[in-house]
């Protein structure tokens, strides 16, 4: 395994673009994800401006026409899920953390790992290239329901639609390769002594997320191939006039699409678990129960997909089954959140920036969770389906996942990644400047949704009930809050890049954490461990009785 061949200093290309080192690949995923996040955020800014201040010139963009609006919301959704949440939460953290936390020198398949990032980069480039083609990028929503997505005459973006589909398919290939690597590495390359229940939760969660992804992506890839054929070869898989069925795509898409929610949720929950344990100086309350609930969530996530389709024209009797499974999934998730909250009991809570983000995640995610009940219960979904209530609900899950938990992870592991501390004051400014506007963006949207605002509409001028001034005030409020939230991200970017050179030196273990990645220097050298560690205990031995130091690292013998 670790026959370390020390190369002469690699060239810049070798080092930054052709590396098989898991930490470098993590950085590649991270910076690509951050660039895509800026783009996705910019799109949100443009279409929120159109909604908040209709038909006015948007600074930095121009007039938003209906076609451009559709493309912007489609790209915002696709990018934030596939090119931000997944690369940052799963690939960046998975790559960086798994070998360090299970105590090995690199991924099980380093070259597959490199290939995974390269295909991911290609997928991002294919998506971006659709901005340059005739007709512009795809505008048929990230769910891409045919026949709209299948027929150029309907969507008016025939090339963009195909490029979108190819980009998504390539992204899937990248994450299948990544998922194999995460799973195999965790199962086979753990340090001696690390039993299944000694694996840190974040690693477990990333592995389970990868397994869920790999198990759910197949049907969608099959669906995507059929859609590609419909688009380019005039087949009729989704064309009812030729024996096809548009509902088929919806089933294939959501069979993937709902587990995908948990694919990004689980790594976020894992990150939060690590942060809460370290900053409360507490063992996770019921580590095994957390794992069991995760498995339950993973399993149930495969049998809830049709709750996206209650009113889609499926057999109405089916809605009853899916309504029950959907409410059932609230049981393990609630349990997990309770366990996280219970972990705080009896601890010594330090409110450093990573902990603020972690607590912010729990507080905000609960709102996302409970509002899901309104949508999962079939009766109320008839009214709320495809309204802004849905948008507000899933942003209350996805923003805590892909923004808040991400920042919890970034601020927590930044010292390990770069060897320097982030500035605490700027971190706290950034936290409050993100979390407060976030609520001011989406609480008004719960109300407009309850008032009947439908989604994916660039203007409500045609709808008398939605044109009420009170609703427009709410939309404008939401847009202004978004401007605040986006501008506070500059504080983070400044902090991030400034601290790379000027931050306080971190040392190996600034947070006094018990897991293996903190036993190596920051940043970890090539090959990670000077001597591969042996593990003696679980990952959360904090506040031990007996008055020694308040924590025991996993690799220290008794």
Assess contact for 146 and 249: CB atoms under 8 A. yes
> Residues 116 to 145: which contact another protein by CB under 8 A?
139-141, 143, 145
x/- site string to another protein, residues 380 to 409, per CB under 8 A? x-xx-xxx----------------------
In angstroms, rounded to a whole number, what is the distance separating the alpha carbons of residues 19 and 464? 58
Q: What is the DSSP letter of 104?
A: -
Q: What residue has token string 């044109």?
A: 467
Q: Phi and psi dihedrals of 90, rounded to 5?
A: -90, -55
Nearer to another protein, 13 or 345 (CB): 345
Total site size for another protein, rule CB under 8 A: 102
Joined tokens for residue 478 = 């939401």
> Residues 15 to 74: which contact another protein by CB under 8 A?
66-67, 69-70
> Residues 434 to 463: which contact another protein by CB under 8 A?
447, 450-452, 454-463
Shortest distance (Å) from residue 552 CB to another protein: 11
In angstroms, rounded to a whole number, what is the distance separating the alpha carbons of residues 264 and 273? 15
Nearer to another protein, 111 or 317 (CB): 317
Assess contact for 43 and 77: CB atoms under 8 A. no
Q: What is the DSSP letter of 382?
A: H
Of 218, 219, 347, 527, the one binding another protein by CB under 8 A = 347
Q: Which region among 32-40, 98-106, 370-378, 510-518 touches another protein (by CB under 8 A)?
A: 370-378
Strand partners, 187: none
Q: Which region among 179-187, 191-199, 436-444, 541-549 touches another protein (by CB under 8 A)?
A: 541-549
Of 162, 231, 353, 371, the one binding another protein by CB under 8 A = 371
Nearer to another protein, 107 or 359 (CB): 359
> Residues 287 to 316: which contact another protein by CB under 8 A?
287-289, 310-313, 316
Q: Where are the alpha helices (DSSP H) in 18-65?
A: 22-52
Shortest distance (Å) from residue 551 CB to another protein: 9
x/- site string to another protein, residues 251 to 280, per CB under 8 A? -----------------------------x
Based on the shown chain and the rule CB under 8 A, indicate whether residue 351 belongs to the binding site for another protein.
yes
Nearer to another protein, 11 or 316 (CB): 316
> Residues 460 to 489: which contact another protein by CB under 8 A?
460-466
Give the sign of the dihedral formed by CA 211, CA 213, CA 216, CA 217.
negative
Torsion of CA 535, 538, 540, 543, to 10 degrees: -90
Q: Report angle CA 287, 293, 297 to the nearest 5 degrees.
A: 145
Nearer to another protein, 371 or 509 (CB): 371
Based on the shown chain and the rule CB under 8 A, indicate whether residue 542 belongs to the binding site for another protein.
yes
Burial class (CB in 10 A: 0-12, 13-18, 19+), 253: buried
Of 196, 225, 373, 490, the one binding another protein by CB under 8 A = 373
Q: Which residues of 538-556 are buried (b: 16+ CB within 10 A; e: fewer)?
A: bbbbbeeeeeeeebbbbbb
Based on the shown chain and the rule CB under 8 A, indicate whether residue 323 belongs to the binding site for another protein.
yes
Of 330, 477, 489, 534, the one binding another protein by CB under 8 A = 330
Nearer to another protein, 280 or 410 (CB): 280
Assess contact for 160 and 135: CB atoms under 8 A. yes
Strand partners, 58: 62
């Amino acid at each position: 395994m670790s026959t370390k061949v020390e190369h002469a200093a690699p060239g810049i290309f070798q080092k930054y673009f052709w590396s098989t080192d898991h930490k470098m690949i993590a950085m590649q995923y991270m910076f690509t994800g951050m660039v895509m996040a800026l783009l996705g955020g910019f799109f949100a800014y443009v279409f929120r401006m159109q909604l908040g201040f209709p038909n006015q010139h948007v600074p930095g963009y121009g007039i938003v026409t209906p076609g451009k609006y559709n493309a912007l919301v489609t790209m915002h959704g696709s990018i934030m899920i596939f090119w931000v949440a997944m690369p940052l939460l799963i690939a960046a953290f998975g790559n960086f953390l798994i070998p360090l936390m299970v105590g090995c020198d690199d991924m099980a398949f380093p070259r597959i790992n490199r290939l995974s990032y390269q295909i991911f980069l290609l997928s991002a480039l294919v998506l971006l290239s659709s901005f340059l083609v005739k007709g512009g990028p795809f505008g048929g929503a990230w769910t891409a329901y045919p026949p709209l997505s299948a027929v150029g005459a309907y969507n008016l973006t025939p090339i963009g639609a195909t490029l979108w589909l190819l980009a998504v398919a390539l992204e899937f290939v990248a994450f299948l390769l990544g998922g194999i690597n995460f799973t195999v590495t965790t199962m086979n390359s753990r340090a001696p002594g690390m039993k299944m229940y000694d694996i840190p939760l974040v690693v477990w969660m990333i592995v389970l997320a990868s397994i869920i992804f790999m198990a759910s992506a197949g049907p969608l890839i099959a669906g995507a191939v059929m859609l590609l054929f419909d688009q380019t070869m005039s087949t009729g898989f989704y064309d009812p006039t030729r024996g096809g069925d548009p509902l088929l795509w919806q089933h294939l898409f959501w069979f993937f699409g709902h587990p995908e929610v948990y694919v990004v949720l689980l790594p976020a929950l894992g990150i939060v678990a690590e942060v809460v344990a370290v900053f409360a100086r507490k063992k996770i309350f019921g580590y095994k129960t957390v794992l069991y609930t995760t498995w339950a969530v993973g399993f149930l996530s495969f049998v809830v997909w049709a709750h996206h389709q209650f009113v889609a024209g499926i057999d109405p009797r089916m809605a009853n089954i899916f309504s029950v499974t959907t409410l059932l999934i609230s049981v393990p998730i609630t349990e997990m959140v309770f366990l996280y909250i219970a972990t705080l009991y009896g601890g010594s809570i330090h409110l450093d920036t990573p902990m603020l983000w972690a607590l912010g995640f729990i507080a905000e995610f609960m709102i996302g969770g409970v509002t899901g009940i309104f949508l999962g219960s079939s009766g109320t979904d008839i009214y709320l389906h495809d309204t802004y209530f849905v948008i507000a609900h899933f942003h209350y899950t996805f923003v805590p996942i892909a923004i808040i938990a991400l920042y919890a992870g970034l601020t927590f592991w930044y010292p390990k990644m770069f060897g320097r501390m982030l500035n605490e004051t700027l971190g706290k400014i950034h936290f409050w400047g993100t979390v407060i506007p976030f609520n001011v963006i989406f609480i008004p949207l719960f109300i407009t949704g309850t008032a009947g605002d439908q989604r994916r509409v660039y203007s409500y001028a045609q709808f008398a009930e939605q044109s009420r001034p009170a609703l427009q005030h709410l939309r404008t409020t939401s847009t202004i809050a978004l401007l605040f939230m986006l501008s506070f991200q500059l504080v983070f970017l400044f902090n991030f890049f400034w601290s790379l050179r000027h931050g306080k030196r971190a040392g190996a273990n600034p947070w006094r954490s018990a897991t293996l990645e903190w036993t190596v220097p920051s940043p970890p050298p090539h090959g990670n461990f000077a001597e591969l560690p042996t593990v003696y205990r679980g990952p959360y031995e904090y506040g031990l009785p007996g008055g020694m130091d308040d924590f025991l690292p996993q690799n220290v013998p008794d």
